[in-house]
């Protein structure tokens, strides 16, 4: 048995039955990381010692007949935007280099309580700002399907770790598409839950009203398994929903007969790569053959999604990132005097100038400007009004259909460096995903084909609030009818 080739569901079952030890599973993935991550750069920190100790403890408890958690022995990679107790947590920023939180994020605590094994922290765009994972202060991540290409962002490290078999499951965060887009570009499955379905406590905030943690795995069934553990109310997050958590993994096996899937004509306009369009259309055909019906729906304000997002998110980010000022923790400039300002202001300016990368600075400036006196109504307040219209579009659409299908990104994985000189072009990689976050809805992305060049094509399903069970089921049924999600890259050593 090669643990690195097993699904999350199979690993948990095998460990539970004693067919393989948690320690052997952890060792296999840790060794795989040691072997291949040099060419991927998916991990910012690997906790070999901690992972093996946890795995050994799980094995001891299993041998002693003690009860095990639902994820017993499952190795999980955690995006570095989530706080991990005593483990480096940097958000891929120099600003937080060396920061070790004294607490676990709620989702990480839930993983540990479920007896998952935390492998380490995955690379990302700095403070989750970016769509290609090239904004990391610790170097870009390479797409396992083609090492010259980007894995997508900002959860590119988590996506690449799974695509390269360095982890069977990972956590990502999705503010405007940061789980679904890299999942699409790396050929894996990623779920962006409804806003508030998963606690944000310990998730280092980028844009608080949009951020949501979600699972990234090889399949929808695996995502369902992880989601059962991480979802649910948290009294420590006032925006967390209190609705009970369904047993997602028990609700997958229902046929798609009668499922109404919406199709938005705007998703197939200019800019969509023909190969991607073909893959997405073939997926619609698969659903149709399985008994679903396809309906045209409109999301008329979705076209304002990107501009709205690039007001709301930077405004919140500018405020959320104000705490990184060099005063209390993180990076502080050693040069704090000599400029035109007071030593205190000089310390702030230099610490932030040295600590943040250019994309983060760009968004802080955007947000600061948009919230400034005299501009609030023209920008932020107007963006909030558009946001409500976008949400209403979804509510109207979900009166007619159960889910909305379409592409997750306009292109397959693009070359590293291809868009880095053009921020506006980069902002369009979230074209199909941002509206879900603005509306607080749920979305899932999974592979639906490959380009002739061998790059994965992603399919996105969006559903109404708290439709995770439905989205996981629809994706799982698709994965029973296709094998795209089982394809492995040949670009890496076995």
Partner 1 sequence: MPTAAAPYTTVIGLEVHVQLLTHTKLFCGCPTDFGAPPNTQVCPVCLGLPGSLPVLNRRAFELALRAGLALECRIAPFTKWDRKNYFYPDLPKGYQISQFDLPFATDGSLEVVDPRGAFPPRRVGIIRVHLEEDAGKSMHDEAAGTGDSRIDLNRAGTPLVEIVSQPDLRSPQEARAWLTELRLLLVYLGVSDCNMQEGSLRVDANVNLHVPRGDGIAKTPIVEIKNMNSFRSVERALAYEAARQWEEWQETGIEIGKAPKQTRGWDDAAGVTRAQRHKEESSDYRYFPDPDLVPVTVSDADVAAARGAMGEPPTALRRALEARWGISAYDADVIVNQGRDVVAYYETVAGMVGAGKPASNWLQQDVLRTLNDRGGTIAEFPVGPEALADLVGRVARGEFDTARGREIFAGLLTLGRPATPADVGTAVAALGITAVSDDDLVELVRDLLAANPKIVADVKGGKEQAAAGLIGQARKKNPNVNPAKVRETAIALIRGS
Asked whether 277 and 249 are in contact (CB, 8 A), the reply is no
Given 7, 132, 178, 351, the catalytic residue:
178
342 is catalytic: no
Give, as one character, the DSSP assignment of residue 19.
Answer: S
Among 8, 9, 21, 89, which residue sits at the site for partner 1 (rule: CB under 8 A)? 89
Cβ closest to partner 1, residue 15 vs residue 204? 204
DSSP 3-state assignment of 375?
Answer: coil
Q: How far apart are CA 421 and CA 88, in angstroms?
A: 30
> Looking at beta carbons only, is 265 or 327 nearer to partner 1?
327
295 token code pair: 């309906």
Question: Is residue 209 flagged as an active site residue?
Answer: no
Q: Which is nearer to partner 1, 68 or 203 (CB)?
A: 203
Q: Is 192 helix (H, G, I), strand (E, B) or coil?
A: strand
Binding mask 279-318 for partner 1 (x = CB under 8 A): ------------------------------------xx-x
Per CB under 8 A, 396 contacts partner 1: no
Q: Residue 175 and residue 179: Cα distance in Å, rounded?
A: 8
Collapse the DSSP code of 189 into the 3-class scheme (helix H, G, I; strand E, B; otherwise coil) and give the result.
Answer: strand
Q: Contact at 8 Å (CB) between 76 and 46?
A: no
Asked if 390 touches partner 1 (CB under 8 A), the answer is: no
d(CA 101, CA 99): 6
Please identify, using beta-carbon distances, which residue of 343 and 453 lies nearer to partner 1. 343
Whether 178 is catalytic is yes
Nearer to partner 1 by Cβ, of 321 and 475: the residue is 321
**CA atoms of 138 and 366, how far apart (whole Å):** 24
Q: How far is the CB of 304 from partner 1 (least distance, A)?
A: 20
112/473 with CB nearer partner 1 = 112
3 state SS of 300: coil
Nearer CB in complex with partner 1: 256/438: 438
Query: To the nearest 5 percent, what fractions of the chain are helix, strand and coil?
Result: 45, 15, 45
Q: Does 98 bind partner 1 (CB under 8 A)?
A: no
Strand partners, 393: none
Stretch of 16-24, 102-110, 128-136, 475-483 contacting partner 1, by CB under 8 A: 102-110
Rounded distance between C-alpha atoms, residue 284 and residue 406, angstroms: 8
Q: Which stretch binds partner 1 (CB under 8 A): 59-67, 113-121, 296-304, 370-378?
A: 370-378
From candidates 44, 76, 83, 114, binder to partner 1 by CB under 8 A: 83
Q: Is 323 in the site for partner 1 (CB under 8 A)?
A: yes
Residues 6+ apart with CB under 8 A from 199: 105, 106, 107, 213, 230, 232, 233, 234, 236, 237, 240
Q: Which two tokens stand for residue 232?
A: 């649910």
Which candidate in 7, 93, 154, 249 is catalytic? 154
Asked if 363 is part of the footprint of partner 1 (rule: CB under 8 A), the reply reads no
Handedness of CA 247, 249, 251, 257 (dihedral sign): positive
Q: Does 91 bind partner 1 (CB under 8 A)?
A: yes
With CB under 8 A as the contact rule, which of the stretches 30-38, 96-104, 415-423, 471-479 interacts with partner 1?
96-104
DSSP-derived secondary structure for 123-187: --SGGG--SSS---TT-PPPBTTBTTB---SSTHHHHHHHHTTS-SEEEEE-SSSTTHHHHHHHT
Query: Please, what is the minimum distance in Å from the beta carbon of residue 263 to partner 1?
Result: 32
**Exactly one of 79, 121, 192, 419 is catalytic; which is it?**
79
Reduce the DSSP state of residue 236 to 3 states and report it. Answer: coil
Residue window 53-82: x/- pattern of binding to partner 1, with contact defined by CB under 8 A: -----------------------------x
Strand ranges (DSSP E) for 72-114? 75-79
The nearer residue to partner 1, 160 or 435, going by C-beta atoms, is: 435
User: Which one of residues 247, 270, 373, 424 is an interface residue with partner 1 (CB under 8 A)?
Assistant: 373
To partner 1, the closest distance from the beta carbon of 137 in angstroms equals 15
Shortest approach of partner 1 to residue 387 CB, angstroms?
12
Residue 265's CB is within 10 A of a number of other CB atoms, namely 11
Residue 45's region, left for phi above 0, alpha for psi from -120 to 50, else beta, is beta
One of 368, 420, 482, 489 touching partner 1 (CB under 8 A): 368
- Give the per-residue contact string, 199-238, with partner 1 (x = CB under 8 A; - = no): -xxxxxx-xxx-------------------------xxxx
Should residue 481 be labelled a site residue for partner 1 when binding is judged by CB under 8 A? Answer: no
354: contact with partner 1 by CB under 8 A: no
Token digits of residue 383? 């963006």
CA 352 to CA 344: how far, in whole Å?
A: 12
Determine the Cα–Cα distance for residues 179 and 428; give it in Å rounded to an integer: 16
Angle between helices 48-63 and 22-40 in degrees, nearest 10:
160
**How many residues bind to partner 1 according to rule CB under 8 A?**
44
- Shortest Å distance, C-beta 41 to partner 1: 23
Pick one of 39, 319, 333, 336: the residue that binds partner 1 (CB under 8 A). Answer: 319
Which residues of this chain interact with partner 1, rule CB under 8 A? 82-83, 89, 91, 96, 99, 101-103, 105, 200-205, 207-209, 235-239, 315-316, 318-319, 321-323, 325, 327-329, 344-345, 348, 368, 371-373, 376, 380
Q: Which residues are catalytic?
A: 79, 154, 178
């Amino acid at each position: 048995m090669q643990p690195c080739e097993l699904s999350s569901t199979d690993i948990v079952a095998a460990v539970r039955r004693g067919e393989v030890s948690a320690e052997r599973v952890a060792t296999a993935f840790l060794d795989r990381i040691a072997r291949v991550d040099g060419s991927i750069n998916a991990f910012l920190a690997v906790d070999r010692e901690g992972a093996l100790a946890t795995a050994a403890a799980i094995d001891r408890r299993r041998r002693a007949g003690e009860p095990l958690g639902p994820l017993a022995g499952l190795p999980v990679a955690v995006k570095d935007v989530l706080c991990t107790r005593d483990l480096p947590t940097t958000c891929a920023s120099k600003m937080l280099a060396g920061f070790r939180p004294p607490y676990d994020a709620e989702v990480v605590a839930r993983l540990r309580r479920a007896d998952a094994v935390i492998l380490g922290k995955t690379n990302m765009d700095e403070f989750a700002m970016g769509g290609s994972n090239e904004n990391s202060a610790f170097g870009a991540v390479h797409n396992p399907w083609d090492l010259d290409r980007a894995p997508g962002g900002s959860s590119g490290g988590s996506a690449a770790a799974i695509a390269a078999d360095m982890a069977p499951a990972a956590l990502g965060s999705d503010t405007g598409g940061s789980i679904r887009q890299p999942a699409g570009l790396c050929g894996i499955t990623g779920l962006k839950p409804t806003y508030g379905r998963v606690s944000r406590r310990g998730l280092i905030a980028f844009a608080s009203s949009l951020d949501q943690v979600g699972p990234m795995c090889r399949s929808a069934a695996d995502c369902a398994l992880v989601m059962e553990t991480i979802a649910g109310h948290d009294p420590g997050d006032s925006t967390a929903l209190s609705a009970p958590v369904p047993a997602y993994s028990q609700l997958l096996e229902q046929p798609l007969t009668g499922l109404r899937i919406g199709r938005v004509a705007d998703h197939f306009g200019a800019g969509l790569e023909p190969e991607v369009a073909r893959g997405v259309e073939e997926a619609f055909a698969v659903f149709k053959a399985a008994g679903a019906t396809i309906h045209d729906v409109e999301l008329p304000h979705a076209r304002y999604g990107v501009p709205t997002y690039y007001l709301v998110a930077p405004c919140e980010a500018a405020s959320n990132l104000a705490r990184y000022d060099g005063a209390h923790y993180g990076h502080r400039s050693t040069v704090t005097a000599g400029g035109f300002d007071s030593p205190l202001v000089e310390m702030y300016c230099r610490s932030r100038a040295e600590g943040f990368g250019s994309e983060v600075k760009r968004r802080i400036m955007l947000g600061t400007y948009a919230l400034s006196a005299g501009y609030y109504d023209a920008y932020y307040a107007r963006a909030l009004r558009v946001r409500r219209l976008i949400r209403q579009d979804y509510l109207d659409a979900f009166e007619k259909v159960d889910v909305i299908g379409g592409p997750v990104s306009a292109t397959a994985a693009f070359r590293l460096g291809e868009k880095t000189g053009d921020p506006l072009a980069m902002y369009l990689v979230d074209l199909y995903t941002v509206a879900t976050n603005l509306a607080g809805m749920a979305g899932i992305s999974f592979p639906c084909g490959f380009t002739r060049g061998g790059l994965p094509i992603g399919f996105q399903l969006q559903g109404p609030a708290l439709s995770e069970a439905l989205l996981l089921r629809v994706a799982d049924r698709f994965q029973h009818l296709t094998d795209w999600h089982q394809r492995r890259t040949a670009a890496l050593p076995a």
